[in-house]
Amino acid sequence: MVKQYRKMIKISHEVPLCLLDESLKFNNYDYCLPHLMDKHEEYKNFFLKSKENGRHIMMDNSLHELGVPYTDERLFYWLQVLEPHEFFVPDYWEDKTQSIVSAKKWSEIQNGFPHITFIAVVQAKSINEAIECYQVYKDLGYKKIAFSYGASYYNEIHNHPNKAIGKALGRIQVINHLHNIGLIHNNDRIHLLGCSVPQEFGYHRLNSYIESIDTSNPVMAAIQGLKYDILGLEVKPTVNMNECFEMPLSEINMELLNYNIEQFKQINNL
């Protein structure tokens, strides 16, 4: 009998400043927020060292943290200095048109960075807009495309009484639908940005086109004192990275943190 092997999904859990070195033990790659490179010397030095050590780096555009993408000037600067392996081009929350316009502009900029994979993020207010957005990105030549966790229309796709679970199931259904209609191919490359509940990823793990995920969920849960059970969580932690980025190590329950991170792998069979 011939064994079938699936591609390993790369995982990164974003952490507060005090846990950056610790994160090297459990993250498959380092996830960089460029606005923090300008604000924190320690954060900047961590990523410059990661580059020096040959660690795989993905650089975000900081939309989730700032509400708008970081400035083009600073993104371009850090692309040149950090030379990340992958970069999320500026996108705009639930705004398909503006995100597509941005993706068109950055697809031309990408020619100057041939060794960096530029990633476009699907932004939409309906599944039809998501279909259009994904198709345009492919037509523009993007080799990797991302889906955010929190789009409002996910709850319309799956009207679960628990909104966090509904968003997780909604994203699963949207991605599966795009695959079923032939828009997402088995050899496509997809990144999943964040999650509402951590157990969502177990439903994606056998899909060959899911290449990487990032989520701070097990870390934020531990900081909030939430312990994963055998199924994960039914709520999304309310604490976020903006609130706890500079918290001291003494305030973090490391036993709970390590438990949640290990349980994250177990519940998703990753």
Dmax over Cα atoms in the chain, in whole Å?
Answer: 55
Could you report the per-residue pLDDT of 207-254, keeping only the tens digit for each?
999 999 999 999 999 999 999 999 999 999 999 888 899 999 999 999
- Residue 65 has a CB neighbour count (10 Å cut-off) of 17
Could you report the per-residue pLDDT of 88-121, keeping only the tens digit for each?
999 999 999 999 999 999 999 999 999 999 999 9
When pLDDT is averaged across residues 23-36 and rounded to a whole number, the result is 97
Chain mean position to CA 136? 21
- Whole-number Å distance between alpha carbons of 20 and 249: 11
Percent of the chain beyond pLDDT 90? 94
Tell me the pairing of strands 117-122 and 144-148. Answer: parallel
Average pLDDT score over the chain: 95
SS3 238: coil
Q: Domains in the chain, ordered, with CATH? A: 10-218 (3.20.20.105)
91 within 8 A of 62, measured Cβ to Cβ: no
E-strand ranges in the chain read 10-12, 30-32, 57-59, 86-88, 117-122, 144-148, 190-193, 210-214
Residue 126 makes CB contacts below 8 A (sequence gap 6+) with 153, 156
Residue 95 makes CB contacts below 8 A (sequence gap 6+) with 123
214 within 8 A of 14, measured Cβ to Cβ: yes
| 10-12: strand order across its sheet | 10-12, 210-214, 190-193, 144-148, 117-122, 86-88, 57-59, 30-32
- pTM for the model stands at 0.95
